Structure 1
């Protein structure tokens, strides 16, 4: 195993971490990811990200609160385990309390494979219904994206690859 831990894989079973570590130590992780995910998505603007997110929301979460903004954000710090953020901003306008909901996706996902961007969007959309990362939250994620656990793992491997080897 590597002398520096694979921080994005903390909490995963030791056998899986050992497999990932072997890919990293052998230098095969970038090739493995390129083979598994040969294409990048075409979503480059905040407007197209908003439309993409609304399409997923409309399909699975029609009754959930509206989103006022979905953007790529350069300020999200992936090193502190934040890949995206779901925020609720409450303001008083006149005599009414207005709530705005926003989703911010780390900018590094502009160049990521499509399934990884979808995983982040699904994760943040699930927070519209479930605030905590509990069983109901992950069940909702799997409803929207049946292979969510595998995509989450692959996204963590992608982040490890970026950290260790640079862009694909």
Structure 2
């Protein structure tokens, strides 16, 4: 079976999984699956609310990590970077001192997403404060903060597929 081009968010998953998703789409059931599993969208519409939400998670699980200077929804991130979120670390020399800033940018499509999917993405970007690469330690940290991390990541990919088809 040839991969459906609408499954671009699911590249890397086993063919068996792609076939199941293809069948959901072909039978017109992806939308009802998403809406049944995640009937409510979050209420974090402002960047201030997103920052406070992110800081609650950070303060609970990553107390001793570097501070965050900014957490925003970024309308360009999805199209330009083919990513869902970005963690940036900026160092500047200011008056002979090195100033470091951590920023998290979340794709604006997640402004209208279920809270568990937003949480998964925030957890992912927060984990980059401690672990820069997508390695075993990175995913262990993600799962420590959010035990359902891997399922939520898959569900987020299904959600994006659904949103793109709508």
TM-score normalized by the length of structure 2: 0.95
Instruction: Report which of the two has the higher share of helix.
Output: 2
Q: What is residue 118 of structure 1 aligned with on the other side?
A: 119
* Structure 1 stretches lacking a partner, 5+ long: none
Q: What is residue 34 of structure 1 aligned with on the other side?
A: 35
Q: What is residue 24 of structure 2 aligned with on the other side?
A: 23
Specify whether residues 93 and 79 from structure 1 end up closer, same or farther in structure 2 by C-alpha distance, changes over 3 A only. closer
SS at match of 1:68: strand
Cα distance in 2, alignment partners of residues 83 and 152 from structure 1:
11
**Count of equivalent residues:** 165
Give the drift of 1:77: 2.1
**Residue pairs, 1:137-156, within 5 angstroms:** 137-156=138-157
Cα distance in 2, alignment partners of residues 140 and 78 from structure 1:
28
SS at match of 2:39: coil
Q: What is residue 77 of structure 1 aligned with on the other side?
A: 78
Cα distance in 2, alignment partners of residues 2 and 159 from structure 1:
20
TM-score normalized by the length of structure 1: 0.94
| 2:89/2:103 contact within 8 Å kept | yes
* Structure 2 stretches lacking a partner, 5+ long: none
| 2:3/2:18 contact within 8 Å kept | no
Give the drift of 1:3: 6.1
